[in-house]
Amino acid sequence: MAVERVSIKNILTRTSGYLKTVSSHSLQPYRGCTLGRSLCGIGCYVQHNRYVTRGRPWGEFLEVRENAAESYVENFSRERSWARRSVGRFGIFLSSSTEPFLPQELEFGITRRVLEAMLENSPDVLILQTHSHRVTDYRDVYVKLASRCELRIHISIETDRENVPGLPPHASSVERRFEAARQIRDSGIHTVITVSPLLPIADPERFFARSAECADAVVIDHFIQGDGTDDGSRTRKTTLVAAMEELDPKSTDLAYRERIVEIARRQLPGRVGVNIDGFAARYLK
């Protein structure tokens, strides 16, 4: 693992493409992701972004943006003014191209310092997206932030299976992520389980019944239309699709997503989002 400490001029990136209807900006405390060799990294669309990887193998490099919090404060007023003028509100998606709670966060604390900077310089909306149970480490900050902005914490749980044959292990177990969602929700924070990308679920009824107990909503996002291509062509280049087909040959078709959506709607009526609409909190009626 190559770890490099860097500085960045502007930590706030104005969104385009997939995220444009979700938030005005994205924020990446790190470049690269040390979870890239775990299950969640296999289908991660960021590995196809040459601007991010610069020819480096996904999961084998990390740039630590040491001045992320300072950069946020420095650029806050200008980017907030632009966002409110252009799209009506200043919203941040943290993060779309890395994991905010990498194991290295314990050493560097970049994400925590950014969140603390937001206490005095709050966005209108903050969406915190994670694959890790370590999201619970900063509950003290979330409670304060939730009184200053609209805060949603998204925790990805893509299947109920702790092991998926043909794929590496989860970086964070299914059980620990469900428990993290419960703890965050019990702290009074709006909590969303993102089933992204949707993998074959052994017991969908139980999965979404449990989701309803520990989250305020769920988002269901298939790799088709969810990896930045209409047909899922990026994901089809990885080993993820073959592993899905081995468990359930129908799971790699959008009809599988629609069947899962209907099950989810029975357990969480009015609280199910699909694809990008779900990330933007636009739920099915």
* CA-to-CA dists, residue 63 to 26, 96, 99, 100, angstroms: 17, 15, 12, 13
What are 89-105's pLDDT values in tens digits? 999 999 999 999 999 99
pLDDT band with cut points at 50, 70 and 90 for residue 170: very high
The answer to whether residue 96 sits within a structural domain is yes
At residue 61, the pLDDT reads 94
At residue 51, the pLDDT reads 85
At residue 83, the pLDDT reads 98
The answer to whether residue 204 sits within a structural domain is yes
Q: What percent of the chain has pLDDT over 90?
A: 89
Average pLDDT over residues 166-174: 96
The answer to whether residue 54 sits within a structural domain is yes
The answer to whether residue 53 sits within a structural domain is yes
What is the residue range of 87's domain? Answer: 2-278
What are 214-252's pLDDT values in tens digits? 999 999 999 999 988 889 999 999 999 999 999 999 999
- Does the pTM of the predicted model rise above 0.85? yes
pLDDT above 90: residue 18: no
The answer to whether residue 226 sits within a structural domain is yes
The answer to whether residue 284 sits within a structural domain is no
Rounded CA separation 263/276 (Å): 19
Mean pLDDT, the chain, whole residue set: 96
Q: What is the 3-state secondary structure (H, E, C) of the chain?
A: CEEEEECCCCCEEECCHHHCCCCCEEECCEECCCCCCCHHHHCCHHHHCHHHHCCCCCCCEEEEECCHHHHHHHHHHHHHHHHHHHCCCCEEEECCCCCCCCCCHHHHCHHHHHHHHHHHCCCCEEEEEECCHHHHHHHHHHHHHHCCCEEEEEEECCCCCCCCCCCCCCCCCHHHHHHHHHHHHHCCCEEEEEECCCCCCCCHHHHHHHHHHHCCEEEECCCCCCCCCCCCCCHHHCCHHHHHHHHCHHHHCHHHHHHHHHHHHHHCCCCEEEHHHHHCCCCCC
The answer to whether residue 285 sits within a structural domain is no
* CA-to-CA dists, residue 181 to 5, 89, 127, 199, 212, angstroms: 31, 27, 14, 19, 11
What are 111-140's pLDDT values in tens digits? 999 999 999 999 999 999 999 999 999 999
The answer to whether residue 283 sits within a structural domain is no
Domain count across the chain: 1
Q: What angle do CA 1, 130, 125 make, to 5 degrees?
A: 130
Find the largest Cα–Cα distance for the chain: 51
Which residues neighbour 173 within 8 Å (Cβ) at sequence distance 6 or greater? 133, 162
pLDDT above 90: residue 148: yes
CATH code: domain of residue 85: 3.80.30
Rounded CA separation 273/259 (Å): 14
